[in-house]
Each structure stands twice: as C-alpha cells, then as structure tokens.
Structure 1
Amino acid sequence: MTDDPDLSARHSLTVTERDVDELGERLATWLSARVGAEATVSELSKPSAGGMSSTTILFDATWSVDGVRESGSFVLRMAPEDGSFPIFQAYDLPLQYAVMSGVAAASDVPVPALRWLETDESVFGSPFFVMDRVDGRAPTDNPPYVFFGWLFDATATERALVADGAVDMIARIHAIDDAPQRFPELDGEGSALRRHFDAQRDWYRWALTDDGIEIPLIERGFAWLEANWPTNPGADVLNWGDARPGNILYDGFTPVAVLDWEMAALGPRELDLGWIIFIHRFFQDIATRFDQPGLPDYLRRDDVVATYERLSGHTVANLDFFIIYAAVRHAIVMARVKRRMIHFGEDTVPDDLDDYVMHRASLSALLDGTYEWD
C-alpha cells in the first residue's frame, strides 16, 4: 500500500456532456445536405488526449456522388455547451476557421485541410467546422508528457528535433507578412499588446472575479505586468496563441499538423515564445514537485531563444515580461479549470484562494525574481 500518486493516471476532466450517438445522427443529416447525397457517419469518438476547451469529435464518413464513392476521416470542432462550464468566455469558431484558412494560404505551415464551416447554430447549438483528420502523435498533457510516453522515451537528440520543430512552426507563422491586413478580424484600435492584455483582464473578471473569486496572486501578476510594461514591445505579427508541441501532430519527430488556433492573436513575437517556454516549465515543475526527473533538457529557455533567432533572424526582447505574462494567463486557465472540476464534483474548494493556481510557487518565484532556471 502506498500514498504515492500514480503519475501515469489520466485525471478525469469533464469537457462536454454531449451524447456522441445523438451528435452522430445530427451530423449525418447535416453532412448529407452539405454533400448533396446520403452520407453515412461512423466511428464517432472523443479524442482521449483532447484539450480542455472546445469540443472535438472524430468521425469517418462515406457518400457517393454520381456513382463515385467518397470517404474520409474527419475532425469536428465546436464550442462547448453552456452547461459544460467553459474555460473561455467566447468561442469564435468562424474566426478560427478564417485564421487557419489564412495561414494555409499565406505560408507552408501544415494546417489540416478545412472542409466545411457551419454558422447555423440550429444544428448543434453553436457554430462548428469540419477538417480532415491528420495521422500523427502529440505529447500529452493529461497525464503530462514529462512522466512517460513517446517523448519521454525518446533520446535527447530526438527530443531536440521535436522542440526545434515546434519553434520552427512558430517562426514560420510569425514570418507571414502584413498580418494585420491578412487577418483583419484580429486587428483593432491602438496597441495590439494592450488589446491582448485588456482582453485577459476581461476574461479574468468573467472567469473568476465576477463570482467573487479574486485571486491575490493573479492580481499581483497583473500589477507586475503594468509596472514592467515594455517600452518597445516590437512589431505585431500573427501569434499562434497556444504555441506548444502538445498542439502539433508529429510523424515520428517531424511536425505534420499545427492545431488549436482559438488563442490566435496579433502581437509581439514574444507572446508565443514566452508561452511555449513557460508551458513546458509548468509541466517540468510538476515533475520536480514529485521528485521525478521530468525532461530538463527539453525546450530550455536559452535553446528556444537561440533556435528562434537562428530561424527568424529576429533578436528576442522583453522575454522576462512575456514569460511572466504567460504564467499569469495560465494561472487564469488553471483557476478556471479548478472551478470547472469543483462544479462537476471532481475537486473541492481550496481554503487559500491562491491554491486555485496550480503553479502558484512558480508564479510567485517569477514575480519575486527568484525562479531557478536549469
């Protein structure tokens, strides 16, 4: 008998309560109208390693047009239903579709082929889109890849290929020229970084403080960011948003599909760089907390910067600011996730409000300037 946690266990996280069989019936009816022929939908499932925000359904479909049989494997993405206690305040699926279409048209970044966008909410209760399914593997978040799995078992050289491939995808996305003109849906008045920051404050209010949950550590983080605002944030580019290897499908150790564009935004390049560096540190710090080795050689801060500068020709600046900004943003994510788990009876209300933030120790150390980098 042991009290040690099972690090390989997948924790239950309720993302959607939609019935897959019912979705399949509606999907077949909708797809038949779209392709102009009776369509058969099969093999519906929810991905075992899906994210925590949008609803994702995998399915196969077949139909015949003028005697020619067509078939494929597809992915359906839709906003979560209101009763699922969503992570984000808004899920703009048409915007995601537009961004992915724009990236595919303007670059060689591998995004899945988009099939259909449906804005009629009567089908599933929210807009959705369908894209081709791409075969591949991604490092898992739940349970975290720092404990076991194909990336953990890889050699240091192979892990470097995965990390460099992710940074290469970021550099290619940032290289898309005239981003504000190409993606006007993401543009607006004033500074892109200020718009992004204000949106995070609004999301924090909606996710937590409007219900009386004001988290001192997050408030302190916002205050630090205001006090240390970059005097020259840099030019605005398209940022992927949720930039990390977990949102890339790999064939072996080569990227074949870049996924999850719901956090895409205009802003300085360091938005993505701070995010990818911090998100790995988030998982690595979990491993350290459980006295596990984790993957200390993976996505190291200096390595990410060196690789990005070599690939992009851009000198990285203000990185401390953007790493702390990533840590604060992820604190809102984790606090909202904890609220969702409490809502579904999967967790309990903490006595200390800062315990809504899983990485409170790391964020505190970053704000204090005492965080220890490997």
Structure 2
Amino acid sequence: MAAEQTELTLATIADATPATVADVLGAPVTRVEALSGGASSATYAVDAVRGDGTLWPLILQCAATGSVAEGGLPRADQARLQQIAFAAGLPVAEVVRVLAPADGLGEGFVMARLPGEALASRWLKLPDYAPARAALTGQCAAVLAKLHQLPMAAAAGLALPAGSTVELLDRMFANYRRFGVESPVFDLAFAWLRERVTDRPASHIVHGDFRSGNFLVTPAGLTAVLDWELAHLGDSHEDLGWLCCNSWRFGVWQNPVGGFGQRDELYAAYEAAGGGPVDRDRAALWEVWGTLKWGMACLQLGDDHVSGRLRSVERAAIGRRVSEVELDLMHMLKFGSV
C-alpha cells in the first residue's frame, strides 16, 4: 500500500447514530449498538419503532472501509442476492433498505435482526446448544443443496465475481505475490493445487463463506446464514470444503464439519437434499484450497493494519494467524486431512 494513503478507522467509516439511522429508515430509532461484525464489515444492532409503536429489531451492516474493494461484490448486489435467497426459502435475513451515497454511511444495507447466537465458540460448547449441534449437519447440507439448486440466471445483473477453477487459483496466487511475502508452505500448497486442479467453468451460485461463525444458532438449530459478501459463481464443492476447514471448528477439531459434524454425514445429507453427487476427492481438494484462501485473508488483514490503510488490533491479530494456517496445510499435505 502507498505510504501516503489516509489512515482509516471503523469510527470514521460508519458514523452510525440513532439520528443518522433514523434518517435512513424514516422511522424513530432508540438504539444503535456496534457489534462484532467480522473484519470486512461494521455491524450495528438497531432498535427502531414501527408506525404502530412496536419494536422493529434491525441490523445495519456497512463495508468496514466505507466501500468494497475492487473486484468484490458491491453491498447493493449482496443485498439483492440475499433477497433472492430469502425468496427461495433459504434462512436469510430480509433486507429492509439499501444505503444510498447520500446516507453518508458508505456501502451497506439494513436487514431484519433474527434470533440466535452468532459466536460459534459459544454454541459449539455450551450444553444448552447440544440439540442444535446434533441437527446442524443436516440443516447446513439442506441449505447448501437449496442454494446450489438456484439457477445461475437468478443472479443475472449482479456483479458476482466468477471464473474457472484455474482462473481463480491464478488470481489467488497473484494476490499472494502482491504482498511480497515468502512462505515455503504457501508456495508448496499452491504447487500442490496446480498439480491437481481440473479446470472447470463456474457452474453454481456459491456462498463463499459458509461456515461456523457465519450462522445464527438457537438451541433448536440454524436460524440464519450471515455474511454473503464473498458470494460468487463457482464450484459447489467449494462451500462443502470451506465448511470443513480447521479454522472454522473453533477448537473442536475432531468434528471436521464446522466443529459439529462428520464429512460423510454432510455429504450424504447434501445428496439426499438434492444437492447432486459429491466427489469426495474434489471436496478434499477444496478443503486444502479453502485453508490456503484463509491464509491469504490473514495476510490481507495483517497488511491492512501494517500499511496503515485501516488500523485495527483485530486485523493485526488475525494477520498473526498465518502460522496456524501453515501448520494446517503441512498436516493436510502429509496426512490428507486435519
């Protein structure tokens, strides 16, 4: 990053107050509370008041830096995709309002606030969520099967990133080189993938970040799938592999499906729900790919902080997790899985 770039902070990106959000909604707002919304978003719980005087629980989510990086999915298109998924019966929050430039809050939108716990470290371990953990593998499989059955034409007009598998791998490698970092483990992982990847055109709408940490969960199970900003056109097996990456097990490593289930159960439930046959070797390849992709995200977030583009202790801490990814990759390349 150029040294002369202006330093940004989340506070300067989205100055969300009851008054500013009320202007956006055209309704009274009694509370706006900043939440932990992930590294790419500034997220707020909003309590608004409907015309009949009842509580209107909402979520305001803005791009953390005010705008989406070049090549990313614009937040307005993310909102439209969420509405498509909502209309198709997927567990997604209904979008209420897409932000306009005049709103002064950057790219983003307002959606319904749904019940559930988002912190995977809680619902993966607390006794009250044992029934949810027992149900989640089948529920996640059914959601992915329904998502992957949507025709790609449903996303016509949206700026969903797309590319064949080889094109996507080339882009990820070019991004890696951009950081000027030399990691022998990452180099080996890229070489391993190049030897095994079969070039396939994009064939499905893919969530791109379907994992523990992006679910709302009650003791009864899954209530919503969050964070659609990495959605794109690609290979359906990508979502299956990403869900099984070790980073998304939050320490419950013996349950490879998000810390709560087993791969064979996930694949069987996905096929039974109409998601199509699962190629086990292809899903395993995407698990390696996903682990490496998370490593690229760690590099990016660390670079955001170190370069001064967006000073954030959270981003700096995630940047240090590159070493964890390297350990996972070495184990996978030697033993086949984590």
Confirm or deny a common fold (TM above 0.5).
Answer: yes
Contact 2:207 2:230 in 1 (8 A): yes
Aligned to 2:4: none
Contact between 2:146 and 2:275, CA under 8 Å: does it hold in 1? no
Other-structure match for 1:316? 278
Instruction: Report what 1:4 is aligned to.
Output: none
Q: Which amino acid aligns with 1:272?
A: D
Question: Is 1:338 matched up with 2:302?
Answer: yes
Of all paired residues, the percent bearing the same amino acid is: 21
1:167 equivalenced with 2:161 (yes/no) = no
Equivalent of 1:77, from 41, 53, 61? 61
Distance 1:88 1:152 in 2: 38
CA distance in 1, matches of 2:105, 2:115: 29
How far 1:151 sits from its partner (Å)? 2.6
If the length of structure 1 is used for normalisation, what is the TM-score? 0.73
2:29 is equivalent to residue 41 of structure 1 = yes
Question: What are the equivalent positions in structure 2 for 1:75-114 lying under 5 Å apart?
Answer: 75-81=59-65, 90=72, 92-105=74-87, 107-114=88-95
Q: CA deviation at 1:59?
A: 0.8
Displacement of 1:324: 1.0
* Structure 1 residue 301: Cα displacement: 2.3
Unaligned runs of 5+ in 1: 1-13, 33-38
- Confirm or deny: 8 A CA contact 1:277 1:299 kept in the other structure: no
Gaps of 5+ in 2: 1-7
Q: Which has the larger radius of gyration?
A: 1
CA distance in structure 2 between the partners assigned to 1:19 and 1:131 by the alignment:
19
Q: d(CA) in 2 for partners of 1:323 and 1:174?
A: 18
- Using structure 2 for the length normalisation, give the TM-score: 0.80
Q: 2:169 aligns with which of 179, 194, 197?
A: 197
- In structure 1, C-alpha distance between the alignment counterparts of 2:85 and 2:312, rounded to whole Å: 40
SS for the counterpart of 1:42 is strand
- The answer for the alignment partner of 1:119 in structure 2 is 100
Distance 1:43 1:336, change over 3 A: same
Verify the 8 A CA contact 2:97 2:110 in the aligned structure 1: yes
Q: 1:157 to 1:28 in 2, by over 3 A?
A: closer
2:18 touches 2:31 (CA, 8 Å); kept in 1?
no
**Superposition pairs of residues 1-374 of structure 1, within 5 angstroms:** 16-18=10-12, 23-32=17-26, 39-48=27-36, 50-62=37-49, 64=51, 68-69=52-53, 71-81=55-65, 90=72, 92-105=74-87, 107-120=88-101, 122-140=102-120, 145=121, 149-154=122-127, 158-176=132-150, 178-185=151-158, 192-201=164-173, 204-205=175-176, 209-230=177-198, 233=200, 236-278=203-245, 281-284=246-249, 286=251, 298-312=260-274, 314-317=276-279, 318-340=282-304, 344=311, 346=313, 356-367=322-333, 369-373=334-338
What is the DSSP-based 3-state SS (H/G/I as helix, E as strand, rest coil) of the residue aligned with 1:245? coil
Q: How many residues align?
A: 323
What's the CA shift for 1:72?
0.7
* CA deviation profile, 1:194-232 (whole Å, cap 9, x unmatched): 454344345x25xxx43533433333322222221126x
- The Cα of 1:22 is off from its aligned counterpart by 5.3
Report Cα offsets for 1:32-75 as digits up to 9, x if no partner.
3xxxxxx3222211224x322111111111264xxx54651111
3-state SS of 1:55 partner = strand
Question: Which letter maps to 1:185?
Answer: L
